[in-house]
Amino acid sequence: MKRNKIFGAVAFTTLAMTLAACNNGGNAGEGAGSTLVIQESADIPTLDPGTTYDTASGQVVENLYETLVGYKGSSLTELEPLLATEWEANDAGTEYRFTLREGVKFHSGNDFTCADAEYTLRRNLVTNTADSGNWFISESLLGTPANANDDKSVTWQRITDAVKCDGDVLVLKLPKTDPAFLAKLAYIGQGVVDSKHAIEIGEWDGTEATWKEAVGKDLMGSPLAQKPSGTGAYKLVGKDATSVTATAFEEYWGEQKPSIKNVIIQKVPEQAARIQAFLKGDADFIEEGGRPIISSQLAGKDGVAVLDDLPNTVASGFSMNQNIAQGGALGSGKLDGQGIPANFFSDVDVRRGFVAAFDVPTYIEQVQEGKGAARNFLLPDSFPGYDTNLAAPEFNPEVARAAFQRAWGGQVWEKGFTVSISYRAGAQTQQTAMELLKKNIEALNPKFRVNIVAKEWSELIKSTNAPKEAMILSAWAPDYADPDNFVTTFYASTGYYGPRLNAKDPEMDALITEARSTTDQAKRDELYAQIAKRAQDQAYYVVMPASPTVFTYRDNISGVGEATFNPMNAFWAGTYWKNLSKS
């Protein structure tokens, strides 16, 4: 208890000092209604849209920056103009021309022009690191998800031919039709950056002379991550290890002007401290810790509002790394009961054992309070391509025992193992799921040991070059509304998680490639059914069940509701900060 009290005092002192800084020279004296406070357990790895590919970073970046197009209201498929006012495509769907909005200012005071949009997309194509979402925009514009270091066909000429300004009009050329292209442009990773400001602070200068030096460059801590300048309704005031502060941009172009002056996101690892702050009204939104916490400690309390049964387009599962890097979660590094070999999870029967040992019904009952259902595949069941005829994996200790007895020619069962699995510090539902898995695994054989380790989010999502984690929760919220965004991400050997799993499956890759290259929906559905079946047989993930979205907020916050909630947004409320008001 003492630790929580001390942390709370420090947090609220920091908050008061930051708010004073926010209001200095601004609309001082606006009172508590001028500040939105969000508390969560995760740190925020970056504020550079060129590498933003996690929810913690995205919730800030989507309010500092804007894209050419965006989702309209709560729709997952209908797009509306943002920095582009209109666009047209040729009959083949291989050339798009965007008319850009006039009179828009960046936070630096610079004017938004076509040169900024051109620079942004070229920069994304040039850098295109494994820790960003630029693979899918590169695939559309260049025909490859790789950067120039990994694919020598990527040249400066190809990049400049794909993205260029024709006067004030932005012209984008694709090698082939991509029905999801406009939706890809709505992803915040395509947030338009202030090119003059970026170059001034030391970013890539945008020229042919230096482009090769920028290929694959790590942008996580880039100059732009430290000093962002977007066109969004909020601009950065400050960022440190425990908080991010933003303030309303007075020259924002949009009709919907920010009502709340300041926004603070605080990293508060202790769940009890977050709940205490929320109940006192010192925080407006918090990472609650899951449905049971909401039901038992928050729902029905004074000042607390609950929004439930909202769409959930997130898919998640525990991934199993088939080639753990040296220095990682190996213990002794041997199959001797004291550790595991680096390729422990490369045996499909080990993976099948873990899958069969996870008690999905108990998790749904205890963590999701009976809401939700088992999934057969890491694809939201609301998406096209989800095969409802395929049964989900079942919790079955006998099946798990038999799989472990077969694994590594019987050595796993005979010698045992000790494996360390990791979850994001402060993420109560992840911890609970791993504790449930640990209990069931260890009950099978007294020689089996599972250690659960809490780690910072930024540590868990480190580069694919040498993944050291044995097992983590791999989750995905869609970048754009198409099944390929999930299937390639989770199951392709060149997808986002494939390199982290060190999983290579030529048969799976061939099916995925065929499914994403056809526009015949019936054929795509058939292919995705085959992919789901193979994925289940190969047991690449312990698939977590679906769950409706639920969250709490202080009832003096307006602008929250089903009409405004869009699961494509990173912020919990499913909307932008500018749409909220506080009384």
What single letter denotes the amino acid at residue 275?
Answer: I
- What CATH number belongs to 2-46+237-311+553-582? 3.40.190.10
pLDDT surpassing 60 at residue 10: no
Nearest Cα neighbor of 143 from 129, 132, 133, 154 is 154
- Is CATH 3.90.76.10 correct for 65-226? yes
Same topology, domains 65-226 and 315-543? Answer is no
Question: pLDDT class for 100, splitting at 50, 70, 90?
Answer: very high
Q: Mean of the pLDDT values across residues 71-95?
A: 92
* Contact predicate 138/190, CB 8 Å: no
Q: What is the pTM of this model?
A: 0.76
Nearest Cα neighbor of 261 from 109, 33, 47 is 33
The per-residue pLDDT for range 15-65, each reduced to its tens digit, is 444 444 444 433 433 545 699 999 999 889 999 999 998 889 999 999 999
- Rounded to a whole number of angstroms, the distance between the first and last alpha carbons of the chain is 32
| pLDDT at residue number 466 | 66
* Contact predicate 249/234, CB 8 Å: yes
315-543: what CATH class? alpha beta
Question: Mean pLDDT lowest for which of 29-33, 200-204, 491-495, 528-532?
Answer: 29-33
* Contact predicate 299/376, CB 8 Å: no
pLDDT surpassing 70 at residue 406: yes
Pairwise pLDDT comparison (5 vs 54), residue with the higher score: 54
Query: Of all residues in the chain, what percent carry a pLDDT higher than 90?
Result: 75
Q: Where in the chain are the domains?
A: 2-46+237-311+553-582, 65-226, 315-543
pLDDT surpassing 90 at residue 483: no
| pLDDT at residue number 478 | 86
| pLDDT at residue number 465 | 62
**Mean pLDDT for all residues in the chain:** 91
Length of the chain: 583
pLDDT surpassing 50 at residue 468: yes
The per-residue pLDDT for range 173-210, each reduced to its tens digit, is 999 988 789 989 999 999 999 999 999 999 999 999 99
Nearest Cα neighbor of 336 from 415, 406, 408 is 415
The per-residue pLDDT for range 548-565, each reduced to its tens digit, is 999 999 999 999 988 889
C-alpha–C-alpha distance, residues 458 and 425, integer Å:
10
Torsion angle of alpha carbons 437, 441, 443, 445, nearest 10°?
-170
C-alpha–C-alpha distance, residues 433 and 425, integer Å:
13
* Contact predicate 542/400, CB 8 Å: no
